[in-house]
Structure 1
Amino acid sequence: MTVLVFLDTAFPDGRPADAGVPQLMINDLGVTRGDGIFESLLAVDSVPRKPHAHLDRLASSAQQLELDIPPRASWERAIATALRLHADAGDHGAVPGGRAAVKLVVTRGVEGAAAPTAWVQVTAAADAADQRTKGIKVLLLDRGYDSLAAARAPWLLLGAKTLSYAVNMAALRYARQNGADDAIFTSSDGKVLEGPTSTVVLARERGGVRTLVTPERKSGILAGTTQDALFRAAEAAGWELGYGPLVPEDLFAADGVWLASSIRLLVPVRSIDGRELAFSADLNAELAGLADTAL
């Protein structure tokens, strides 16, 4: 089932709505132009994971789009309301561990109006346990711009989590139509960027020093909340940290490569473009444990 709670100034804790009937105006700019932003976060047993990080990123995306959004406290109350309703409905145990996907959405609102449309949506999270254990196959796909485009062309909104996800979904369909499970974008000048819905992380050991590395954010990638949380936990556990730039050969030379995201958490990449990567079940379990406990 889906729980839907709109942020509404007349309802301090959010306004519950029936997800089974139409709720948006047909001329809402989120529908007609994809003009809006969103966040997806994990809740376990009705407790949201990393809510502050996601609300921080929502605010950052809103700033890039010059979009007025409800205050943080309103989001926190609406999230709590939605998770309570989801738990009351008995759907919170639909997947192992009582995992739920919480989506925060803001559009610029109805065309001609001054107020945004904002809501919280909660559904049972898809079970990705098999992928987290066995791993996935990935294709490298050219994103079509160079790694300096974000600084040169801020109107591209690179690094903002917008509703305009048609390209990301097309990349996933292309990967699956060609025998893979997911994709990693590269820039036109050969740098590793990110997955359509994830952040790239690699591990390597050199001279007894273990390091986790992720692509540099100035290349126009989305700041990864799960990657951030993993890096904090890994650093506390003795890992060194690195931030690109990375090229595809760095992935093939690594001791392991993962895609990090809020719902799936950490998924190991077993092959890229049909070429097998290094994989250690022990290392995967260690990093998965860090990701699963990082808040």
Structure 2
Amino acid sequence: MTVLVFLDPQFPAGRLADATVPQLSVLDQGVTRGDGIFESALYKGAVVRKLEAHLARLAVSADTCDLTLPETAAWRAAIATAVSAYDAAAPSEEAVVKLVATRGAEGAQAGTCWVTVSPGPALGRAQREAGLSVLLLDRGYDSAVAERAPWLLMGAKTLSYAVNMAALRHAHANGADDVIFISSDDIVLEGPTSTVLLAIREGETKRLLTPTLETGILPGTTQGAIFAAAKAAGWELGYGPLAPIDLMDADSVWLVSSIRLLAPINSIDGTPIARDPELHAELTAMVDAIA
């Protein structure tokens, strides 16, 4: 079951709609051009996790794409309506809260914004335990493209996910679960729907690393929350640039995202890599504590 709530000025708490019937104009540029933005948050234990971070990133994406969003209070009200309706109809252990904003139809005075709540995917939960096999794929541009070409909207979470989905299909067709993109100058970027984390243990020192944002990757809300918790726990933190060899030499590598959370990587391009159970358990505890 999916609950759908539109943000509508005539309905301060949001307008409930039937997600099983057509609701969106075929002229909406979110459909015709992928011209829009979104966020996906995990709803668990009656809490939308990291809601403040998701709303903040939605605002950054809107600014990058020159989109005008409703006030944050309108999003909060629609989210509250959606999760309340979901809990009343089909409560589950985990659900996905998705926030979407499009530019609307050509010439429209305002865009189209809505919230959905739907059951969390079982595959993501399984991958937290079993881990992933990934392929390294060339994203087709160098690591300096974000500064050189801001019109590419690097670092914004847009609806234009056709390339990301094609990369995942390529991985599945070649016997892998997921992908880590690298730049044409051999710098580690991100996954199609995730952020890369790696850990290095040096004696009593534990270091947590992630690719640098200067490459134009999407700032990960889960990565940010993990970094904050790891810093409080005494870990050292670092941002790239990282090369593929850094992934192979790490004591553990993960793909992290708001819905799948912390998924350990078992192999890269068919080569097994290290998995440190103690480091994984410690980071999992940090992730479980995030609200």
TM-score, normalised via structure 1 length = 0.97
Instruction: For 2:280 and 2:174, locate their aligned partners in 1 and report how far apart those are by CA, in whole Å.
Output: 26
1:158-186 per-residue CA deviation (whole Å, 9 max, x = no partner) reads: 10000000000000000010010000000
Which segment is superposed worse, 281-290 or 51-60?
281-290
Which residue number corresponds to residue 22 of structure 1? 22
Counterpart amino acid of residue 51 in structure 1: L
Shift of residue 208, structure 1, vs aligned partner: 2.7
Which residue number corresponds to residue 139 of structure 2? 143
Instruction: For 1:129 and 1:283, locate their aligned partners in 2 and report how far apart those are by CA, in whole Å.
Output: 19
Which aligned segments of 4 or more residues in structure 1 are displaced greater than 4 angstroms? Answer: none
Whether the 8 Å CA contact 1:46–1:100 is kept in 2: the answer is no
Instruction: For 2:25 and 2:125, locate their aligned partners in 1 and report how far apart those are by CA, in whole Å.
Output: 37
Whether the 8 Å CA contact 1:202–1:256 is kept in 2: the answer is yes
Which residue number corresponds to residue 87 of structure 1? 87
Instruction: For 1:195 and 1:150, locate their aligned partners in 2 and report how far apart those are by CA, in whole Å.
Output: 17
Shift of residue 130, structure 1, vs aligned partner: 2.3
Instruction: For 2:175 and 2:200, locate their aligned partners in 1 and report how far apart those are by CA, in whole Å.
Output: 27
Instruction: For 1:198 and 1:36, locate their aligned partners in 2 and report how far apart those are by CA, in whole Å.
Output: 19
Between the aligned residues of both structures, percent identity stands at 61
Q: 1:194-273 residue pairs with structure 2 within 5 A? A: 194-273=190-269
Q: Secondary structure at the match of 1:259?
A: strand
1:176-203 per-residue CA deviation (whole Å, 9 max, x = no partner) reads: 1001000000000000000000000000
Q: Secondary structure at the match of 2:159?
A: coil
Segments of 5+ residues of structure 2 without an aligned counterpart are none
Which residue number corresponds to residue 131 of structure 1? 127
Shift of residue 114, structure 1, vs aligned partner: 1.1
Which residue number corresponds to residue 168 of structure 1? 164
Aligned length: 290
Counterpart amino acid of residue 255 in structure 1: D
Which residue number corresponds to residue 114 of structure 2? 119
Residue 105, structure 1, aligned to residue 100, structure 2: yes
Q: CA RMSD in A?
A: 0.8
Instruction: For 1:184 and 1:116, locate their aligned partners in 2 and report how far apart those are by CA, in whole Å.
Output: 33
Instruction: For 2:192 and 2:174, locate their aligned partners in 1 and report how far apart those are by CA, in whole Å.
Output: 16
Counterpart amino acid of residue 105 in structure 2: V
Counterpart amino acid of residue 174 in structure 2: N
Shift of residue 241, structure 1, vs aligned partner: 0.5
Instruction: For 2:241 and 2:109, locate their aligned partners in 1 and report how far apart those are by CA, in whole Å.
Output: 41
Counterpart amino acid of residue 61 in structure 2: S
Q: 1:59-70 residue pairs with structure 2 within 5 A? A: 59-70=59-70
Counterpart amino acid of residue 143 in structure 1: R
Counterpart amino acid of residue 267 in structure 2: S
Which residue number corresponds to residue 36 of structure 2? 36
Counterpart amino acid of residue 117 in structure 2: V
1:23-73 per-residue CA deviation (whole Å, 9 max, x = no partner) reads: 001100000000000000001133100000000000000000000011111
Q: Secondary structure at the match of 1:172?
A: helix
1:199-252 per-residue CA deviation (whole Å, 9 max, x = no partner) reads: 000000124311100000010000000000011111111111000110000000
Instruction: For 1:230 and 1:171, locate their aligned partners in 2 and report how far apart those are by CA, in whole Å.
Output: 26
Whether the 8 Å CA contact 1:203–1:254 is kept in 2: the answer is yes
Segments of 5+ residues of structure 1 without an aligned counterpart are none
Shift of residue 288, structure 1, vs aligned partner: 1.1
Shift of residue 282, structure 1, vs aligned partner: 2.4
Instruction: For 1:180 and 1:205, locate their aligned partners in 2 and report how far apart those are by CA, in whole Å.
Output: 27
Instruction: For 2:13 and 2:88, locate their aligned partners in 1 and report how far apart those are by CA, in whole Å.
Output: 16
Instruction: For 1:73 and 1:210, locate their aligned partners in 2 and report how far apart those are by CA, in whole Å.
Output: 40
Instruction: For 2:98 and 2:288, locate their aligned partners in 1 and report how far apart those are by CA, in whole Å.
Output: 19
TM-score, normalised via structure 2 length = 0.98
Which segment is superposed worse, 12-21 or 45-54?
45-54
Q: Secondary structure at the match of 1:40?
A: strand
